Amino acid sequence: MKLIVGFGNPGDKHINNRQNIGFKVIDILANNANIDVRIKKKKSIIGRGKIENEDIVLLKPQTFVNLIGESVLYIASFLRIDVKDIICIFEDSTLEIGDLRIDYMLSQNTHDGVKSMAKALKSDRFAKVRIGVGQPAKGEKMKRYLLKDFTDDEKLILIDVLNKSELAVLDLIDKDIEVVQNKYNPEGAPKIEKRIVRLRKI
């Protein structure tokens, strides 16, 4: 079973905010897989179904972003979902609008939602789908920027990256993380240096 978590803030006024792009990907996945995301569980709205012949739980936390770990931990514990089977989707202001990256445990990402999940789960070994939302104008505070809606021009760019994000999640459901990183990240999967242990003769 896979748990797919979209980041966002609850409430109608946040629907089209930059910070709610994770919710938008969940909506696309739900619509295309005929999964009804309406079941209310502790600080969450979830939907259960099948994607790629895999049992799937789609999760929209109903806490604010910096407290997402609470709802993720509850659902993962309740359904006995392993950390490695969790995928989260969120906005990334370090990437330009239209850019996409797939991260795993070696990520240096400092997103409050990711930190909240890692703290609650006591592990950061879950896949991270980062969707670029661009940087605020000079002098504009990041928090205010992320709570703003996308412009009409930006929405045209988003169509492509949202579709690409859905495909990336589908790949993460049944493929190794390195394969997906090599497919979607321009730099590919990170190279991990392995220590060479030499036996010494005594």
Q: CA–CA separation, 27 vs 122, rounded Å?
A: 28
* All structural domains of the chain with their residue ranges: 2-184
Q: What pLDDT, in 10s, does the model give residues 21-33?
A: 999 999 999 999 9
- Is residue 90 within 8 A of residue 129, CB to CB? The reply is yes
132 versus 42: the higher-pLDDT residue is 132
Range from 71-85, 87-101, 105-119 carrying the lowest mean pLDDT: 105-119
- pLDDT value of position 77: 94
193 pLDDT exceeds 70?
A: no
198 versus 133: the higher-pLDDT residue is 133
Summarize the confidence of residues 56-61 as an average pLDDT. 96
- pLDDT value of position 195: 46
∠ CA 172-106-195, rounded to 5°: 115
92 pLDDT exceeds 90?
A: yes
Q: What pLDDT, in 10s, does the model give residues 109-164?
A: 678 999 999 999 999 999 999 999 999 888 899 989 999 999 999 999 999 999 99
Report, at the CATH architecture level, how domain 2-184 is classified: 3-Layer(aba) Sandwich (3.40)
**Residues of the chain with pLDDT > 90: what percent?**
73
- pLDDT value of position 12: 87
197 pLDDT exceeds 60?
A: no
- Is residue 100 within 8 A of residue 130, CB to CB? The reply is yes
54 versus 42: the higher-pLDDT residue is 54
Mean pLDDT of the chain: 90
Question: Residue 143 corresponds to which tokens in the numbers above?
Answer: 């928090």
Contacts of the segment 31-34: beta carbons below 8 A, 24+ positions apart: 32/166
189 versus 74: the higher-pLDDT residue is 74
